[in-house]
Amino acid sequence: MTRTPTAFLIGASLSAIFLAAALLSFLWTPHDVTNLIIADRLQPPGDTYPLGTDQFGRDLLSMLMVGARTSIAVALVAVGIGITLGVPLGLAAAATRGSLLDEIIMRGNDLIFAFPSLVIAILITAVYGPSATNAIIAIGIFNIPVFARVARGGALSLWTLDYVLAARTAGKGRLRISAEHILPNIGNLLIVQATIQFSLGILAEAALSYIGLGAQPPLPSWGRMLADAQTMIYSHPMLAILPGMAIVMMVLGLNLMGDGLRDMLDPRLRRSRA
Amino acid sequence: MLRYALSRMLSLVISLIAASAVIFAVIEVIPGDPAAFMLGLNATDANVAALRADLGLEGTLPARYWGWVSGMLVGDFGTSYTYRVPVADLILDRIWVSLPLALYALTLSTLIAFPIGLIAAARRGAWADYGIMGGTQLGIAVPNFWFAMLLVLLFAVNLRWFSAGGFPGWDNPGAAIKALTLPAVALALPQASILARVMRSAILDTLGQDYIRTARAKGLSRRQAVTRHALRNAMIPVLTIIGLQFSFLLAGAIIIENVFFLPGLGRLIFQGITQRDLIVVESVTMLLVFAVILVTFLVDIAYAAVDPRLRRR
């Protein structure tokens, strides 16, 4: 038990730092990221540019801050898509367990799982044009079956419990029971899953924008910064190291937070660990 | 067992039909005219019409879908618009990079994950366990293409042990394996991290079972109980993850092949996308999805053969 809060605290602090940097970037960045000052290209870290500049003379710290905003926004909306579409599907499947509807929803889920997600994300962004919006849709689609499965699994065990039986005896319909009794009680499961999908979304966004299918210039994103740095890696390795570190820290933070949350919210795990 | 195998086979076929319909819809139906898309903005109407005829786009949608699917069944994957050769030839050419790369990465990932997962489980709560779990947390958080760049920086630029990219072909197997080593390591790291964590928790789960207590009670040492009983039962979740990772390795290869300029299937898809060669994209995507569905099917069958309880559904 002593370990759990530590992991959670480290994770939550890391995530909070990036969130704060992303929010701050809406109001203020040290320099304008759309302003290319070629005279100041490839500056080492110093007073004017805390982390130095890239080959176009853009301030790296400002780029990283706006990049955090791009990553978080894409991953957050993609998780939102997964929850708003996946959870109702999962609840409906659980409420009508064994019916044709349940079967169709679960088989549809299996089908999406069978696709290598990145391949389809690449396909969608390639056919409909690369943009942050299409990256969100591509990542979001694969969150739907994940949340549907988690919601269904959690809901199925709740449907067997006495208080649900009581609600049914009291004459409540399946829809009302799902909304009033099932949904609030699978909240914990969904929060933990959302943290995991959020971190996977950050990684997926980085991968898509790295191969040029995510956020488009001039909007900075971590994956794009890595792609731009690739040709400079021999002479200026820091250009490639910094954005990568940002991705790793953000994802690590979210994963630690997710693990910590799961341990704190699931009493069964707490007992088995003690 | 036969009945179970047949029912899984049926679901395999349904999955393939559904997957091919989705891919066909994404590529050929939704974006409008594929011929106009492939030729770009400056195409004349006559050129578009000629390409439409060339691609067989004149037929109805069901006819075109059937033409594509029935062709694939007999090994005809269409003709690449940019390369002017059958897509099947391109695939046969490229698969000898992608398949060895995926298998190499899978082997590395398993070889790394098994021992460290086992050590973490055996030393649960000790510093070795914390160290391994911390390391795997980091491994999961590292994007494989960034790790690939770091590997290039260290081993190709600074130490000069490996080349930064390219593939010499299988005429010289030693050089070919060497060229695939950095990409395979880059692909394997995140997978090994996930696998080691699954391995650890699977072994810990089985260690709590009654049959382990019985084994210990009849005089087996902790090590014997782990190797003879726990390990074997822990294999079921571990094998599931290995099966799933095959799909991640195929997808991850698209990006890694681009980092290392490897002429594999992933790079073929990527080039197909940038050159708007839709037939290549469509058929290679279908092939990758087929591979994933087939692996899932084989894993299901393998379990049922090992564990009769899983045959009842």
Interface predicted TM-score (ipTM) of this complex, two decimals: 0.86
Dig out the tokens for A156 from the structure: 């199925």
Note whether B29 contacts A: Cβ–Cβ < 8 A. Answer: no
Task: List chain B pLDDT tens, one digit each, 313 residues.
Answer: 788 888 888 888 888 898 898 888 887 765 666 677 777 777 777 877 777 777 767 778 888 888 888 988 888 888 887 788 898 999 998 999 999 999 999 999 999 999 999 889 888 888 988 899 889 999 999 999 999 999 998 998 888 888 878 888 888 888 899 999 999 999 999 899 999 999 898 888 888 888 888 888 888 887 888 778 888 778 877 888 888 788 778 777 888 998 898 999 888 888 888 787 888 888 888 888 888 888 888 888 887 777 777 666 4
Helices (H) and strands (E) in chain B, counts: 13, 0
Please tell me the predicted confidence (pLDDT) of residue A269. Answer: 53
Regions of chain A with pLDDT less than 70: 1-4, 266-274
Interface test with chain A among B16, B26, B146, B276, by most A beta carbons within 10 Å: B146
Note whether A14 contacts B: Cβ–Cβ < 8 A. Answer: no
Stated pTM of the model = 0.86
Dig out the tokens for B67 from the structure: 């033409």
Please tell me the predicted confidence (pLDDT) of residue A2. Answer: 47
Please tell me the predicted confidence (pLDDT) of residue A202. Answer: 94
Phi, psi of A173 (to 5 degrees): -80, 170
Considering only the beta carbons, identify the residue of A211, A240, A248 that sits closest to B270: A211
Considering only the beta carbons, identify the residue of A111, A127, A272 that sits closest to B18: A111
Check if the beta carbon of residue B284 is closer than 8 Å to that of residue B86.
no
Note whether A240 contacts B: Cβ–Cβ < 8 A. Answer: yes
Please tell me the predicted confidence (pLDDT) of residue A147. Answer: 94
Measured CA to CA, the distance from residue B276 to residue B278 in angstroms comes to 6
Note whether A248 contacts B: Cβ–Cβ < 8 A. Answer: yes
Please tell me the predicted confidence (pLDDT) of residue B195. Answer: 92
Please tell me the predicted confidence (pLDDT) of residue B220. Answer: 86
Please tell me the predicted confidence (pLDDT) of residue B29. Answer: 67
Q: Residue B288: enclosing H or E segment and its boundaries?
A: helix B278-306
Note whether A128 contacts B: Cβ–Cβ < 8 A. Answer: yes
Inspect the interface and report whether the beta carbons of B270 and A122 lie closer than 8 Å. yes
Q: Which residue of A has its CA nearest to B281?
A: A123
CA angle B132, B135, B137 (to 5 degrees): 110
- Which chain B residues have a beta carbon less than 8 Å from that of A252? 137-138, 141
Dig out the tokens for A272 from the structure: 């088995």
Contacts with A254 (C-beta within 8 Å, 6 or more apart), sequence order: A11, A14, A15, A195, A196, A198, A199, A202
Check if the beta carbon of residue A233 is closer than 8 Å to that of residue A240.
yes
Considering only the beta carbons, identify the residue of B27, B143, B258 that sits closest to A203: B143
One-letter amino acid at B100 equals P
Phi, psi of B143 (to 5 degrees): -65, 135
Please tell me the predicted confidence (pLDDT) of residue A151. Answer: 94
Measured CA to CA, the distance from residue B187 to residue B260 in angstroms comes to 12
Dig out the tokens for B242 from the structure: 């290995």
Check if the beta carbon of residue A65 is closer than 8 Å to that of residue A22.
yes
Please tell me the predicted confidence (pLDDT) of residue A29. Answer: 80
One-letter amino acid at A24 equals L
